[in-house]
Amino acid sequence: MPEPVPGGPLSLRVPALAELELLLAVARLGSLGQAARALGISQPAASGRLRALEQRLGVRLVRRSPGGSRLTDEGALVSEWARKIVEAAEAFDAGARALRGRRDSRLRVAASMTIAEYLLPGWLVALHAGHPGTAVSLAAGNSATVAGQVLEGAADLGFVEGTEVPAGLDRAVIGHDRLLVVAARPHPWARRRIPVPAAEVAATALVLREPGSGTRQVLDAALAPYGGPAAPLLELASTTAVKAAAISGAGPAVLSELAVAEELAAGRLTAVPVAGLDLARALHAVWPAGHRPAGPARDLLSLTRRPRDRPS
């Protein structure tokens, strides 16, 4: 059982989003009063909020002067960390809005779990920035249900992983996903520069998602010619749990590159080169055959389409 958070819940130690937004607004606009107006609060409220923020952190974030306010060096650093939170909150909001508007939305999207988790929020933020009026609704499921909803007309646009697309749907490749074998630094595979043979991967106990999950199916199929995957070291029900296990050194894991991009960049995990395995799968947008996406669906699609991948 993981620790129930030493030092109390995060929410007591991390400033509220409103305070972080204020800091960013001050950084952007150069004055407390303007930032206050931008957030729809009074100037004294902004002054108080910022003072509370500085007191909680024990650091001076802003150099006030009659004529404006400017971030200190520490303030710049803190505001970058804060920006990460705010960006995650924007993605959350974009996703939540889409999830909320059930029937009456102008653009109904259905997406597979992986795409809905990692890609869609970013697209929706961009869509909202470019086409503010667009209301989107979202249904998430596996590839089969997504295809079904698009076929039935319950969704205007679908996003699926995997290679087979049912008849009756047109599709466009919007990107590629790839399962990666990843390992934390203590593991020998993390030092490999010479690719690990596929047969060795197939014979090794790995940290995996549970059977039935999309990534597990792809892996099982890819490893079948080599004797199938060995009995898993751990079988976990969520991508995050698999990541955590791999990072803590339980053993090598197999995950979508979308899920581990950040860990790879920060060096918490290393991609293990593998020889003779094709774990790539295309990401497709799908829509009813013949009905080329128009209006909002076209807007969204144009945000997602990669230039080198043309629709069929």
Among 167, 194, 231, 265, binds a copy of itself (CB under 8 A): 265
Give me 118's structure tokens.
């990692």
Residue 21 interacts with which of a copy of itself, DNA, none, CB < 5 to 8 Å by class: a copy of itself
Q: How far is the CB of 63 from DNA (least distance, A)?
A: 9
Q: How many CA atoms lie within 13 A of 139 on its CB side?
A: 22
From 208, 192, 211, select the one nearest 245 (Cα to Cα): 208
Query: Per CB under 7 A, which of residues 27..46 are in contact with DNA?
Result: 31-34, 40-45
Q: How far is the CB of 157 from a copy of itself (least distance, A)?
A: 17
Binding flags for a copy of itself, 9-28, as an x/- string (CB under 8 A): xxx-xx-xxx--x------x
Transcribe 37-49 into DSSP letters. Answer: HHHTS-HHHHHHH
Q: Which stretch binds DNA (CB under 7 A): 62-70, 85-93, 134-142, 243-251?
A: 62-70
Applying CB under 7 A, the site for DNA has a residue count of 24
Residue 306 interacts with which of DNA, a copy of itself, none, CB < 5 to 8 Å by class: a copy of itself
Among 51, 84, 102, 185, binds DNA (CB under 7 A): 51
From 181, 183, 177, select the one nearest 202 (Cα to Cα): 181
CA–CA distance, 64 with 203 (Å, rounded to integer): 63
Q: Which stretch binds DNA (CB under 7 A): 47-55, 139-147, 175-183, 225-233?
A: 47-55
Query: Per CB under 8 A, which of residues 27..86 are in contact with a copy of itself?
Result: 28, 37-40, 57-59, 73-74, 76-78, 80-86
> 185: which DSSP letter?
T
Overall residue count recorded for the chain in this entry = 312
Q: Does 72 bind DNA (CB under 7 A)?
A: no
From 65, 268, 96, select the one nearest 182 (Cα to Cα): 268
Q: Does 141 bind a copy of itself (CB under 8 A)?
A: yes
Cβ-contact 109, 160 below 8 angstroms: no
Residue found by looking up tokens 């909150």 in the block: 89
Cβ-contact 161, 110 below 8 angstroms: no
CB atoms within 10 A of CB 238: 11
Q: Which stretch binds DNA (CB under 7 A): 64-72, 98-106, 260-268, 294-302?
A: 64-72
Q: How far is the CB of 105 from a copy of itself (least distance, A)?
A: 12
* Nearer to a copy of itself (CB atom), residue 261 or residue 294: 261
> 131: which DSSP letter?
-
Q: Does 47 bind DNA (CB under 7 A)?
A: yes
> 68: which DSSP letter?
E
